[in-house]
Chains A and B, each alone.
Chain A
């Protein structure tokens, strides 16, 4: 039941995008997000789209997988578009009862949908091509300077790694407990909301008990191997930026310059 859920799925591979330093990828996505909100005209969106298409192509991620990830937000996209279409004042395109669709609304709606789509594709591309471990390694490294102001970067990254690591385990566990309680006549499919909420108790209590037990065991295992977070910790896989990262950064910089430059382009 829970086994089919795929959150932040990682698709292992050896494409150039996979081989990029996670810090580079996180930064690129960050820059992309900022630039996305600076885009004001069709040419800028075309540039951003071209950049995204290029990235997807280089990552060799099947388009089918990306599209599957977009399905849940379809309603949001439709809603956004409709609201923009009818609520933006401007030259009338058509009327639907009291609602007036404007040409400006159409333009804004399309831009908004494009913006959301590009954002989602780039974000999924990041998790699809970066393993959870290197993703958190990258985050830790990026957050490291903030240690000076008291941010526990290493601990945050470690917590994220552990959380990501245990999502599938806990899902499997939940599945098992649910089945065990169903074997005792528990009803998880009832239509009544109050019954459904009450039916969560036999699922959540054992799940929490087991999560605490696992946490305890994990803590012992980490201590037994002399784990201590902090500054003197060395790592097995050191993050290293290569010429590839330089190329990716240059490309991103170029794209950002074009998009921001296009702000002064008429149209």
Chain B
């Protein structure tokens, strides 16, 4: 499954004095099985961009193709053939604070909302709800009891899982998440990151994650896209993008703490690889460097910068 945008532009309230260009000629391609992070300062058009991925927003100009199929074929090319419902089944979109969309009396019914809209048999709905809950880390023997509870009686982290399960029950091949960890406590955040990464590894979902949190992205995605003022300004492997914290800072973004630490070490003359992303990787790198013998001390910051190691 692939998502492709070609010169995608979205203007809010076009033709008025309050017109805003939220997305400006963005072309990108996300392939099956990828994990992609989208980041950028507030107002850079991230949320607007992802709402095009499943046809919730119509581009002002440009194209959106899902599996090579144009979501908004131009009228002169014949009548509209793309079924947006089908596209929305393939690309599951999870908004910021998805727990705010819960509405049913029980967790079971809420997760079942999507499958029931698909007109599936109650047996198939039950199967899907159980699987979806398992996918977000609810063991099968607890699913029954949880399913009976009111979604409003759950903790913040649990509510979010249930809301995500509600989208997973649609069996999407791609999951697009907007700030999935916003507002969670550290434990809830770690559990959710683990869940998301399992969705990719074990269930083979393509992940697109919008986030301000560099640590989350470092932990989840292999590729990062940076937007600024609606324009795509950088698209590359996560390691490459985080290698240059200075340019991130200019955009009001920051490298994850681990990367910042590696850079600080390198700036003081340490012979370390600055492209380590996770604490574990960094620990291994530092361990190796210490074992390799006493570090060379740098005289000043400037000289230290010269000692920056690129691998």
Chain B residues with Cβ below 8 Å from A173 are: 100
Which one, A4, A181, A185, contacts B101 given CB within 8 A?
A181
Chain B residues with Cβ below 8 Å from A3 are: 12-13
Chain A residues with Cβ below 8 Å from B98 are: 180
Against B, the Cβ 8 Å flags (1 = close, 0 = not) of A165-191 are: 000000001001101111111110000
Chain A residues with Cβ below 8 Å from B230 are: none
Chain A residues with Cβ below 8 Å from B118 are: 185
How far apart sit A173 and B96, CA to CA, in the bound complex (Å)? 11
Whether A179 touches B89, Cβ cut-off 8 Å, given contacts A3-B13, A209-B152, is no
B3 at the interface (CB under 8 A from A): no
B95 to nearest A CB, angstroms? 5
Residues of chain A from 57 to 73 with CB closer than 8 A to chain B in the complex? none
Chain B residues with Cβ below 8 Å from A176 are: 95, 100
B270 at the interface (CB under 8 A from A): no
Number of interface residues of A (CB under 8 A): 20
A126 to nearest B CB, angstroms? 22
Most interface-central of A182, A201, A210 (chain B CB within 10 A): A182
A205 at the interface (CB under 8 A from B): yes
Nearest chain A residue, comparing its CB with the CB of B115: A185
- A205 & B103 in contact (Cβ 8 Å cutoff): yes
B6 to nearest A CB, angstroms? 23
Which one, A4, A177, A183, A187, contacts B92 given CB within 8 A?
A183
A173 to nearest B CB, angstroms? 8
Residues of chain B from 87 to 102 with CB closer than 8 A to chain A in the complex? 88-89, 92-95, 98, 100-102
- A177 & B101 in contact (Cβ 8 Å cutoff): yes
B285 to nearest A CB, angstroms? 41
- A184 & B13 in contact (Cβ 8 Å cutoff): no
- B100 & A184 in contact (Cβ 8 Å cutoff): no
Could you jot down 26 A-B contacts, CB within 8 Å?
A3-B12, A177-B100, A180-B95, A180-B98, A181-B113, A182-B56, A182-B88, A183-B54, A183-B56, A183-B94, A183-B167, A184-B167, A184-B170, A185-B85, A185-B89, A185-B113, A185-B118, A187-B117, A202-B113, A205-B103, A206-B100, A206-B101, A206-B102, A206-B103, A209-B100, A209-B152
